Amino acid sequence: MKYDIIVIGGGHAGVEAALASARMGKITLLLTMSIDQIAAISCNPAIGGLAKGHLTKEVDALGGIMALGADKTGIQFKILNASKGPAVRGSRVQIDMDRYKNYIKNICLSTQNLDVKQEIANQILLKDNSVDGVITHLQNRYYAKKIILSSGTFLKGLIHVGEFTKKAGRFSEFASYSLSDSLKEIGLELSRLKTGTCPRIDSKSINFSNFEIQHGDDKPTPFSFRTDKESFNPTQLPCLIAYTNPTTHKIIEKNFHRAPMFTGQIEGVGPRYCPSIEDKINRFKDRDRHQLFLEPQTSDANEYYINGLTTSLPPDVQLDVIHSIKGLENAKITRYGYAIEYDYVNPTQIKHTLETKVINGLYLAGQINGTTGYEEAAAQGLMAGINASLAIDQKEPFILKRSEAYIGVMIDDLVTKGTNEPYRMFTSRAEYRLLLREDNADLRLMPYGYKFGLIDDTTHKKMLTKSYELHKGIRYLENNYLTPSKENLELLRDNHEEKITDKVLLKNIVGRKSFTIEKLDIFAKELKDFSHESKEQILIEAKYAHYIDKQKRQINKMQNMLKIKIPQNLEFEKISGLSNEIVEKLNTFNPPTLFAASQISGITPAALDVLQIYIKAISQK
């Protein structure tokens, strides 16, 4: 059968890719090893977090499904870093992992233009260096104009639990060996990475009286811009905080000789920022304890995930480790933790559209590009689905700039720098994070989602109203003053605000750290009927006006810089400050502009600055 797009893999990347392409009118096939495992939660039962929440909000603003799924199945909602600035806050939702995958599965099965088939893709078919289709393990042939590969940890997946190893993509699921070989045959270079998961325990065997309790927010905030805030009232369950102790550490140290990551059994590189418990004990010998976070996996709370205890130690050692922890002395393990190695494609082999450089029409999304995390995968899948659809229609590709979205930062990092360890998004990776907040993701990206047909009219109109009220509110604050009249001084005093001695721009009053939305209603009554979301935006824009303006100037400077032409026959090796590697790449590609140079894998922002200064200097001679 002939399709427009075939998506291989039904994880978080594959789901977003398939739904986006189908909703953009493309006849799409989603191939998955197990329909019941579509959008499965392989690791911790939560979505979002610091920076990951930004990605989820951006996926939602573009029309993706992840945030809606989290709202529908969430069992605890929390804003992390709520006391800090808006740029570093992160939404995090504990979800019912069973209900979540069922919700997403049913969305896929009911979406027009989308066929779902439970088959294993074994080989990619080519025609004139372009994709032509796939052959499955049942020897079925499916043909397509574009293929999106989102294979997760399944490419030559190898699981480790102590000395035990098993070829699998997840513990009870097949690995894909033929497809990995097929990718090598068509010219892609593959390497190995490693990630891991934590043990799960039976809730009946937990002594709940020995833990710190962490509840969700008193007034939960939905993840999706499309969820009605007024009627949102989910039932929330608490999480538990526990700690390792010196006894735990001694048990682990005593069994280093049985840990696959130390014996040479594991070859792949794991994530530095999310180490296994044995790696933590080895690297941080001065620490007498490490925090653990016990998360209910479903609304029934009959199994708990021990976040922070990622391990591939043998089963008997895992049990001893858990029994050494206060409150878990009698805990029963339902699922052991394990490490998994898998093949990935270094992302310097793909373009910013996520299409491979060596094969036309083949797009890669998710862990195959070296990333880790549901949210990073979903963002890539959505972008791949959009770009594959646009390419079929012969339209301009959709590439988000670093100044537009965390998604843009992530993809640019991957494509230009590559990665030799699992890549995770952090707020620190975004140079313009004050502009790329969770709260304004709809204002930044929803116009794109609406343009592609992924956002409905009602949601779009709500965003337009928010945008209108924000700009009207800021204009009002920038054009009105508060004078030190007796009435105004009393108003400031009654609202616990410092008095003024001269007329002050209202924007500067509202921008005070002590100012709140309630005070905005008092001092700017003309804005009182605006929505709560609009008032939040107005307050943030006023409080951080100086820094926001500074970042906007930096963006304009960068955009103007990238337009600069590079003189022909420029001898890059004579430019002080450029590494030999960068000089070699510049000589190879000979880019005509700084923008063209910025698109070359490995060309850093610092190198672009050096080039700009040098070009400016020689032009003035």
Q: Which of 503, 520, 549 represents a domain boundary (last residue)?
A: 549
Range of the domain at 240: 200-340
Whether residues 223 and 322 fall in one domain: yes
Specify if 294 maps to a domain. Answer: yes
525 and 599 co-located in one domain = no
Give the model's pLDDT for residue 344. Answer: 98
Do 545 and 570 sit in the same domain of this protein?
no
Cβ partners under 8 Å of residue 263, min gap 6: 257
215 and 312 together in one domain = yes
Direct distance between the N- and C-terminal alpha carbons of the chain, in angstroms, rounded to an integer:
64
Reply yes or no on whether the pLDDT at 603 is more than 90.
no
Q: Rounded to an integer, what distance in angstroms lies between the CA atom of residue 177 and that of residue 151? A: 11
User: What pLDDT does residue 314 have?
Assistant: 97
Same domain, 537 and 576: no
pLDDT at 211 over 80: yes
- The pair of structure tokens assigned to 424 is 């995770």
Residue 360 included in any domain: no
133 Cβ partners below 8 Å, 6+ apart? Answer: 6, 124, 125, 141, 142, 143, 144, 147
Q: Which of 137-146, 344-353, 354-363, 570-579 has the lowest mean pLDDT?
A: 570-579
Q: Quick one: 205 and 320 in the same domain?
A: yes
Is 104 contained in some domain?
Answer: no
Average pLDDT of span 175-190: 95
pLDDT recorded at residue 376: 98
The CATH code of the domain that includes 251 is 2.40.30.260
Mean pLDDT of 289-312: 97
Cα separation, 307 vs 279, in Å, equals 15
Q: Which two tokens stand for residue 536?
A: 């939040």
Query: What is the per-residue pLDDT for 85?
Result: 87
pLDDT of residue 511: 93
Q: Rounded to whole angstroms, how far apart are CA atoms 48 and 516?
A: 27
* Residues 575 and 539 grouped into a single domain: no
How high is the pLDDT of residue 389? 98
Whether pLDDT at 621 is above 80: no
Note whether residue 260 is domain-resident: yes
User: Are residues 301 and 252 part of one domain?
Assistant: yes
| Mean pLDDT of all residues belonging to the chain | 94
Q: In the predicted model, is pLDDT for residue 87 greater than 80?
A: yes
- Work out the average pLDDT over 31-39: 97
pLDDT value, residue 235: 96
* 374 within domain boundaries: no
Residues 327 and 273 in one domain: yes
293 and 253 housed in the same domain: yes
- Tokens matching residue 250: 């001694």
**What pLDDT does 355 receive?**
98
597 with 531, same domain: the answer is no
The single residue listed with the structure tokens 């639990």 is: 161
Considering 282, 316, 340, which residue would you say is the last residue of a domain?
Answer: 340
**CA-to-CA dists, residue 591 to 402, 564, 586, 595, angstroms:** 20, 11, 7, 8
Of 306, 340, 374, the residue at which a domain comes to its end is: 340
| Residues above pLDDT 70, as percent of the chain | 100
CA distance 213 to 215: 6
Mean pLDDT, range 13-40, rounded to an integer:
98
CATH number of the structural domain spanning residue 612? 1.10.150.570
Report the number of distinct structural domains present in the chain.
3
Of the candidates 542, 480, 552, the residue with the CA atom closest to the CA atom of residue 515: 542
Report if residue 297 sits inside a domain.
yes
Residue 268 clears pLDDT 90, i.e. is over it: no
pLDDT band at 354 (very low <50, low <70, confident <90, very high): very high
Mean of pLDDT values over 32-40: 97
Average pLDDT for 524-540: 94
pLDDT band at 39 (very low <50, low <70, confident <90, very high): very high
Whether residue 558 has pLDDT greater than 80: no
Task: Give domain status of residue 243, yes or no.
Answer: yes
Residue 599 has pLDDT above 80, yes or no: no
Give the model's pLDDT for residue 416: 84
CB < 8 Å & 24+ apart, contacts of 579-582 = 579/607, 582/607
Task: Kindly state the average pLDDT of the residues 238-267.
Answer: 95
3-state secondary structure 363-398: EECCHHHCECCHHHHHHHHHHHHHHHHHHHCCCCCC
Q: Which residues contact 402 (CB under 8 A, 6 or more apart)?
A: 408, 409, 412, 430, 431, 432
pLDDT at position 143, please? 98
What is the predicted pLDDT for the residue at 569? 83
Query: In the prediction, which pLDDT does 248 show?
Result: 97
pLDDT, tens digit, 9 for 90 and up, residues 455-488: 999 999 999 999 999 999 999 999 999 999 999 9
Q: Checking DSSP bridges between strand 121-127 and strand 46-48, what pairing results, if any?
A: unpaired
605 has a pLDDT exceeding 80: no
Q: Are 114 and 18 in contact (CB under 8 A)?
A: yes
Count how many Cα atoms sit within 13 Å of the Cα of residue 158 in the half-sphere of its side chain: 18
Q: Are residues 216 and 323 both part of a single domain? A: yes
On whether residue 259 sits in a domain, the answer given is: yes
More confident residue, 355 or 274: 355
Does residue 233 surpass a pLDDT of 80? Answer: yes
Is 555's pLDDT higher than 80?
Answer: yes
CATH at residue 502? 1.10.10.1800
| Distance of alpha carbon 78 from alpha carbon 50, whole angstroms | 11
Three-state SS for 518? helix
- Cα 22 to Cα 190, 352, 596, distances in angstroms: 30, 22, 33
Q: State the pLDDT confidence band at 505, using cuts at 50, 70 and 90.
A: very high
pLDDT of residue 504: 95
